[in-house]
A = this chain, B = another copy of it.
Amino acid sequence: MRDVVIIGCGMTKFARPLPGSLMDIASEASLKAIGDAGASDRDFDAVYLASMASGEFAHQTAAATALVDELGLIPAPAHRVENGPASGGSAIREAFLGIASGMYDLVLVTGAEKMSTVPGEVVTDVISTMAHYEAEYIHGVTLPGLAAMLTRLYMVRYGLTEDQLAAVAVKSHENGSKNPYAQLSHKKATIAGVKDSVMVADPLRLYHVCPVSDGAASLVLCSAEKVHEFSGKPIKIAGLGQATDTHAVQEREDPTVLKSVQIASRQAFEMAGLKPKDIDVVELHDAFAILEIVESEDAGFFPKGEGGKAAEEGKTALDGEIPINPSGGLKARGHALGATGVAQVVELVWQLRGEAGERQVKGAKNAFALNFGGFGDNSVVTILRRTS
């Protein structure tokens, strides 16, 4: 397989609403990434659009074609990759495979979602359609409901406290306040404030749950052998992993263990030749505070049952031993579904380049992103490495 590097990245601010159409925001992020790569005058070999629900939210199908036209990149082949909220991670993987194969040299990956176009109850319903249709969806289970049940079970089994759970949100908002692209960059949080916020799905409160977001993020990928043709600073895609688990949560032997996260992480670490202790900065898929805790364990950064304590002790803070979600995560940067997995990697590219401003993790060399589809039934891991 040929080596693949990221030479450009860009994103819109995440917001609700973000002005403009799905194509407007996808184009904004794409043009920033293309400009950042120094590839504005180049033909692209392929374009991937990650979007969970372009049809349901923006009433647009075959939207990858629309993006290619909007960007003036005709006749580049293009299609959309959909894997629920892990669509972004999946699209990066597909672009990687296209370049690794030798078929492509220069590929654009853009994740975009407009969720503000439909009423909140439609958003909740569309997101719920990734749950198991017969075992979960038709019984009215929503994603916050699944996360609440996981939180309660985890609390009973591992002694997670409300303060520990709140600490995750407080840290996310602290980091998000340093990220100009974050949807909730204007909001900080306190332990007391989180514990006093409105209940969404007991025991999860408003500050434990990510917002509904519009946003887009974009990456330019290139074969390592052509990287000298571009001005963008290269960051290597060193490892990839992706794994599925039972669709219905109730079928898992232990619902507090995210097997797909374990397997995808192990694959990515093996491919990169790295161990969890080698990672300097991490973006996890904290759609709910409990997920950041469980993922941080199943990815290998903390022993099982200790993720909450680690957050409370500041181990995951910007200056902690393993900084998690410097961007503010899904909680504070926002969670624009198909855009999220790409935005995670954009943040990590900035971190590895030393361009993350106030939220910079000093000297970061290896970075880890986990993008999560469904309720843990499809996890995608991307490991990045600064080679210079």
Binding site for B on A (CB under 8 A): 1, 21, 23, 52-53, 55-56, 59-62, 64-66, 68-70, 73-84, 86-87, 90, 93-94, 97-98, 100-103, 126-127, 129-130, 132-133, 137, 242-248, 259-260, 263-264, 373-374, 377-378, 380
Return A236 CB to nearest CB of chain B, in Å: 16
Question: In the bound complex, what is the Cα–Cα distance between A259 and B86 (angstroms)?
Answer: 33
Asked if B90 and A101 make an inter-chain contact with CB atoms under 8 angstroms apart, the answer reads no
Select one of B78, B97, B380 contacting A244, CB under 8 A.
B78
Asked if B66 and A61 make an inter-chain contact with CB atoms under 8 angstroms apart, the answer reads no
Q: How many copies does the complex hold?
A: 2
A-B contact pairs, 21 of them (CB 8 A): A1-B101, A1-B102, A52-B62, A56-B56, A59-B133, A59-B137, A61-B84, A62-B377, A65-B374, A65-B377, A66-B132, A69-B244, A69-B248, A70-B247, A75-B243, A75-B244, A76-B243, A78-B378, A80-B83, A100-B102, A100-B103
| Chain B residues, Cβ within 8 Å of A65 | 83-84, 130, 244, 247, 373-374, 377-378
| Chain B residues, Cβ within 8 Å of A246 | 69, 74
Residue of B whose beta carbon sits closest to that of A51: B82
Question: In the bound complex, what is the Cα–Cα distance between A88 and B70 (angstroms)?
Answer: 24
Asked if A244 and B102 make an inter-chain contact with CB atoms under 8 angstroms apart, the answer reads no
Return A43 CB to nearest CB of chain B, in Å: 12
| Chain B residues, Cβ within 8 Å of A263 | 75
With A243-B75, A244-B76 known as contacts, the answer to whether A69 contacts B377 (CB < 8 A) is yes
Question: In the bound complex, what is the Cα–Cα distance between A213 and B1 (angstroms)?
Answer: 40
| Chain B residues, Cβ within 8 Å of A81 | 79-82
Return A330 CB to nearest CB of chain B, in Å: 16
Residue of B whose beta carbon sits closest to that of A133: B60
Return A96 CB to nearest CB of chain B, in Å: 8
With A69-B246, A263-B75 known as contacts, the answer to whether A59 contacts B129 (CB < 8 A) is yes
Question: In the bound complex, what is the Cα–Cα distance between A259 and B87 (angstroms)?
Answer: 30
A-B contacts besides A59-B129, A78-B378, 13 pairs, CB < 8 Å? A53-B61, A55-B55, A56-B61, A59-B133, A62-B84, A64-B82, A64-B83, A64-B378, A66-B132, A77-B242, A77-B380, A78-B83, A100-B101
> Which 4 pairs of residues, A with B, have the shortest CB-CB distance?
A62-B84, A77-B242, A101-B101, A79-B83
